[in-house]
Structure 1
Amino acid sequence: MYVFAILAAFTILGSFILDMFRLELPAIQIAGGFVVAHSGYRMLVPTSDHGDPEAHQDNDIAFT
């Protein structure tokens, strides 16, 4: 129900909000493309973790 209300509000008020901030639709599309590209890049490139190696050990719970 909340999702429907949010979608209806942005359908009705979306163009007014874009005009109020003087934004154009292609600018929003380009920004969305950057967000998707950044998310994809973060999935492809692993983060280097230089912390304590003992803190990241996998504990096998089969041997307790």
Structure 2
Amino acid sequence: MPAIVARRYNPFIQVFCDRLLDNGKSKMSMIGAAMHKLLRQVFGVLKSQLPFDPNFLSLPS
């Protein structure tokens, strides 16, 4: 359920899921990938003891 809610309200996960669907992935695999991405974000925040920074590894525009 967190991946489905993130798909609706999290702009970073929305873009990620839209890209997967545009590339022809099924909805179930998109949800699985969103779950994996959320889990990796949570683990990174817990391990680093820093607040979530959406621009941490963003490329310059």
Please identify the structure whose Cα radius of gyration is greater.
Answer: 1
Q: TM bucket by the smaller chain? A: 0.3 to 0.5
Taking structure 1 as the reference length, what is the TM-score of the superposition?
0.38
Higher RCO (C-alpha 8 Å, min separation 6): 2
Taking structure 2 as the reference length, what is the TM-score of the superposition?
0.40
